[in-house]
Amino acid sequence: MKKFNIPQQFDSELIRRLKGRPKKVDGIRDFSPTIWSTGDLTFKIARHFGFCFGVEQAIEKAYDTLRKHPDKRIFFLSEMIHNPLVNKDLEENGIRFIQSTTGEQLIPWDRITSDDIVMIPAFGTTLETERVLQSKGIITTNYDTTCPFVELVWKRSRQLASKQATIIIHGKPEHEETRATFSHAAEKGKALVIRNMEEAVLLGEFISGVVSPEEFTTHFPGRYSDTFNAEKDLTRIGVVNQTTLLAEETQEIADYLKSVMIEKYGNESLSEHFEDTRDTLCYATNDNQQAVKSLIREEADFALIIGGHKSSNTTHLVELSLEKLPTYFIRDEHSILPDGSIEHFDLSVQKYRITPEVINKNNPGTILISSGASCPNSTVEHVILKVAALYEYAKEDLLQNLPLE
């Protein structure tokens, strides 16, 4: 695996020693957590978490561009990744964001010139935006941080289009990555975005003829390509995904739509109506999810999942953890308040709130720890040390019992 040059403020030798890579037991990958205890306090830390390949590549390229072009104005099309600490540091170093994460224009295009550097974030961007940049004489070849796994989805979309299959994109329609994937897919063929299994079932009803094609536009407004015809373009399909979603949900959607095609056309004709696309799932997203599934099998008092609330992959880790035990979705160590309360993002109401007295210094226990793919190692270290300090354990106490693997 390639090593990237990550700024020191985002790194942590301690966390790198703790996380390691997923082990193998009898040839099978073992995602069992790392156990780190001191006194009555135990941290159980996910085997796989934090910066993924795509994020590390984006960060290296962004800071390398800052070093090489100190006299240039440097912009990102939108936030480079969904982590407030990293984006804030980029802004403090002079980088500005042209658009919001939902595509709202923050800086008018007429203020951007061919003398400026414009970087493409890890999520990629739409072909429409690429054409705007080209019309202004802005070359992004050396400043494109699109994740290779996102580009793999685009490649598979082109392959589906070449086979005259409609590209069904499992993703959040408002997310930058899904908007980019839809744009690239629709350029080459017919494309449709569905949000979840509920919408997949609705799509299956269109395919089966339970719901008339005339109702299609009502149920999927603005989420299909311009020349899409619900009656003609759902006879051959393939599924790709937003790479940061739950891997199991994408697979369930693909399996369900496959069963719909079998029921309508017969198993012997399946290859003419359904394209298998299992390899568009991001390895890091999948590994993080597998590690959390293993983590929540452990006995514990509560879990801390660390990352920005806009982060799709982190959100899904929180959802997995909430199925088993109290889980707090926190930004960083500042979310751990001096009185033991925790400020966290509540997915049910989509707002931050404070839960009092989660940490009681007189009652140390067991805490599960993981983070999303855009969360720096340094943030994870700061969270662990902050929690330990509230239980009146110093860093030195933890280091004396550092797991050796």
What pLDDT does 23 receive?
Answer: 67
Average pLDDT of span 271-284: 81
Quick one: pLDDT at residue 21?
62
Of the pLDDT bands very low, low, confident and very high (cuts 50, 70, 90), residue 25 is low
Alpha carbons 335 and 311: distance in angstroms, whole number: 17
- Identify the architecture of domain 8-52+284-399 in CATH: 3-Layer(aba) Sandwich (3.40)
Is the pLDDT score of 98 beyond 70?
yes
pLDDT in tens, 215-243: 888 889 999 999 899 889 999 999 999 99
Q: Report whether pLDDT(30) > 70.
A: yes
Tell me, what's the pLDDT at 214? Answer: 81
Active site residue 177: yes
HEC string of the chain?
A: CCCCCCCHHHCCHHHHHHHCCCEEECCEEECCCEEEEECCEEEEECCCCCCCHHHHHHHHHHHHHHHHCCCCCEEECCCCCCCHHHHHHHHHCCCEECECCCCCECCCHHHCCCCCEEEECCCCCCHHHHHHHHHCCCCCHHHECCCHHHHHHHHHHHHHHHCCCEEEEECCCCCHHHHHHHHHHHHHCCEEEECCHHHHHHHHHHHHCCCCHHHHHHHCCCCECCCCCCCCCCCCEEEEECCCCCHHHHHHHHHHHHHHHHHHHCHHHHHHCEECCHHHCCHHHHHHHHHHHHHCCCCCCEEEEECCCCCHHHHHHHHHHHCCCCEEEECCHHHECCCCCEEEEECCCCEEEEECCCCCCCCCCEEEEEECCCCCHHHHHHHHHHHHHHCCCCHHHHHCCCCCC
Domain(s) labelled CATH 3.40.1010.20 in the chain stretch across: 8-52+284-399, 150-281
Across all residues in the chain, what is the average pLDDT?
Answer: 92
Fold of 53-143: Rossmann fold (3.40.50)
**pLDDT tens per residue across span 160-174:** 999 999 999 999 999
d(CA 101, CA 140): 19
Per-residue pLDDT band for 281 (boundaries 50, 70, 90) equals low
Please report the pLDDT score of residue 279 as a whole number: 58
pLDDT band, residue 29 (cuts 50/70/90): confident
Residue range 276-295: mean pLDDT, rounded: 84
pLDDT at 46 over 80: yes
The CA-based angle 168-174-175, given to 5 degrees, is 80
Within the chain, all domains assigned CATH 3.40.50.11270 are found at: 53-143
Q: Is the pLDDT of residue 90 over 90?
A: yes
High-pLDDT (> 90) share of the chain, %? 77
pLDDT, tens digit (0-9, with 9 covering 90-100), for 298-331: 999 999 999 999 999 999 999 999 999 999 999 9
The CATH number that domain 150-281 falls under is 3.40.1010.20
On the question of pLDDT at 105 being above 70, the answer is yes
- Catalytic-labelled residue, pool 177, 199, 275, 381: 177
List the single range of 183-192, 269-278, 319-328 with lowest mean pLDDT.
Answer: 269-278
Report the alpha-carbon distance of residue 276 to residue 317 in Å, rounded.
Answer: 26
Order of strands across the sheet with 74-76?
Answer: 96-97, 74-76, 117-119
Mean pLDDT value across residues 77-103 = 93
